[in-house]
Chains A and B, each alone.
Chain A
């Protein structure tokens, strides 16, 4: 296991299209987080899972965004009807039961044109 893996690394999509990103956490980690980062800003919390349960969603997460972690392993983040304002780096992180050191993936850079 080489860490948190995110795919794709880059995605360019036309406004109005749907996109889906995948995150594979470190295998023994039961917490998985999604963050969004725009240029010059710190990562902003979107949502997190404890195993397969989605425990919290940020108010930033509009109803166009949905995240799943069906078997408590990998997770997907879907954005429907993309808007230019959705252009950002989407980061995934995972932690073990201690919930201290969060390991981040390299992110998926989304560009909506």
Chain B
């Protein structure tokens, strides 16, 4: 019940394309859903986050879509750039963050 399932495991996108990463959860007590970006050798850094009373949140090229009834949420990266190449983790919070397994994104020029 504490798991957060993330897909795909890896994603290859051409520059300018849209990257989409999906997550699903079971525990309805989760009340905050962040996405983290991690570069090799670095700790995860918060990218964007949403609360379950909102269906969508957009910050620049990054958008979270949230479907409370389906217990799913997704990250959309518009106009993907080579600098976006990193590993992305979804997470869910109740007392502590529970992370998904990660998606390695590669954006080619």
Contact = CB atoms under 8 A, between A and B. Distances in A.
Interface stretch (A67-75, A76-84, A102-110): A102-110
A43 interface: yes
B17 interface: no
A93 B43 CA distance: 9
Interface residues of A, number: 23
Contact of A104 (B32, B41, B44, B100): B44
A48 B100 CA distance: 19
B89 interface: yes
Given A99-B93, A100-B93, A101-B49, A43 B42 contact: no
What band does the interface of chain B fall in when counting residues whose beta carbon is under 8 Å from A? 20 to 34
B54 interface: no
Contacts of B96: 33, 45, 48, 56
Nearest to A102: B97
Interface in B12-70: 32, 34, 36, 41-46, 49
A40 interface: yes
Contacts of A45: 96-98
Interface of B: 6, 32, 34, 36, 41-46, 49, 89, 91, 93, 95-102
Given A33-B96, A103-B46, A107-B42, 15 more contacts: A33-B97, A35-B99, A40-B101, A40-B102, A41-B101, A43-B89, A44-B99, A45-B97, A91-B44, A99-B93, A101-B34, A102-B34, A105-B43, A106-B42, A107-B43
